[in-house]
Amino acid sequence: MSALEARGVHLAAGGRSLVEAVDLSVAAGEMVVVAGPNGAGKSTLLRLLAGEARPTRGHVLYGGADIADLPPWRLALVRAVLPQSAHVAFPFRVHEVVQLGIDGVGRKLPRAARADIMTGALEAGDVLHLRDRLYQTLSGGERQRVQFARVLGQLRAGMRTADAASAPILLLDEPVSSLDLKHQSALLRAAHRLSREGVAVLAILHDLNLAAAFGDRLVVLNRGRVAARGTPVEVLTDALLHTVFEVPFRVGAVPPAPVPFVLPFEDAPPAEKAAMSHRQPSRAD
Ligand SMILES: Nc1ncnc2c1ncn2[C@@H]1O[C@H](COP(=O)(O)OP(=O)(O)OP(=O)(O)O)[C@@H](O)[C@H]1O
């Protein structure tokens, strides 16, 4: 049974369909990447998967249970969501922002367990050294890493809370959009490691090379519908990228494991050999 499943999910707003007939599943232990052009419906789909918006038609299930029947506190125990942008209204310090995530679901955990989760989350976001800084004084990338730490704190607290019945779910909406290369790789490796611990991870990414490197499976959304799904090798074809992204891409592959990578056609060196030697971020970095 999938940890997370969308069955025929549809959302209409403003007189048009934003998400249409989307079927999707993420198993515990799997990392699925959703990609697609601007306005394709990715964030809307993620909000539906998070239970933050109700589908006009169709169902979202966690561990086989329709989330329409789950109270908000149970949703918060099972799934953590990193939105595309998060606003912090009050002058909180970094550790207080992360504490919000932990305390939201882990109030009953022993103090030592909460402290342990806090340290782990701050380290995973590489923001331990910023723990006493005011959130509002941070750079955009630092804020994004603090938000990731907050979400990890919530996820870990939920995982340690005894009555969390179904597999944990992590939903990330463009989690690396403000990050430098080092932190892009670090954050996605942390998310990938979580998937190997049994978390069902779904991440929206625009960078198709990162999508290919970290996604066990890719789902490409276009105009609210699934345009392609499968392994990176199955999905990332010149034809699909040309049709969906409307840019003439060229797909190569890094031997020996055939992880595809994508270069804009204009930027590709004349010989594909040169493109092949182009190093892309990997899970092992
Ligand atoms: N409440 C709403 N009412 C009307 N239209 C909406 C609403 N919310 C989103 N949209 C539209 O739905 C479409 C999908 O938006 P969404 O944010 O899901 O796209 P996205 O794939 O995440 O895009 P991006 O890559 O730019 O973040 C967009 O055209 C957006 O303008």
160-169: pLDDT as tens digits: 986 656 799 9
Cα 56 to ligand 1 centroid, rounded to whole Å: 16
CA distances from 81 to 5, 190, 277 (A): 16, 15, 36
**57-62 β-sheet, strand order:** 16-26, 4-13, 57-62, 65-66
The tokens describing 183, both together, are 């932190």
Q: What does R_g of the chain's alpha carbons equal in angstroms?
A: 19
State how far the Cα of 3 lies from the Cα of 8, in Å rounded to an integer. Answer: 17
For ligand 1, say whether the CB of 41 is within 6 Å of any of its atoms.
yes
For ligand 1, say whether the CB of 18 is within 6 Å of any of its atoms.
yes
Nearest CA to ligand 1 atom 7: 13
State how far the Cα of 144 lies from the Cα of 257, in Å rounded to an integer. Answer: 32
Q: What was the pLDDT predicted at 277?
A: 43
Cα 18 to ligand 1 centroid, rounded to whole Å: 7
For ligand 1, say whether the CB of 39 is within 6 Å of any of its atoms.
yes
For ligand 1, say whether the CB of 71 is within 6 Å of any of its atoms.
no
Mean pLDDT over the full length of the chain:
89
Q: What was the pLDDT predicted at 87?
A: 81
Cα 41 to ligand 1 centroid, rounded to whole Å: 5
- Whether 157 contacts 102, CB under 8 Å: yes
State how far the Cα of 54 lies from the Cα of 118, in Å rounded to an integer. Answer: 32
| Sites in the chain below the pLDDT cut of 70 | 162-165, 254-258, 263-285
For ligand 1, say whether the CB of 192 is within 6 Å of any of its atoms.
no
For ligand 1, say whether the CB of 13 is within 6 Å of any of its atoms.
yes
For ligand 1, say whether the CB of 42 is within 6 Å of any of its atoms.
yes
This prediction has a pTM of: 0.90
Cα 52 to ligand 1 centroid, rounded to whole Å: 14
Q: What was the pLDDT predicted at 256?
A: 62
Q: What was the pLDDT predicted at 283?
A: 61
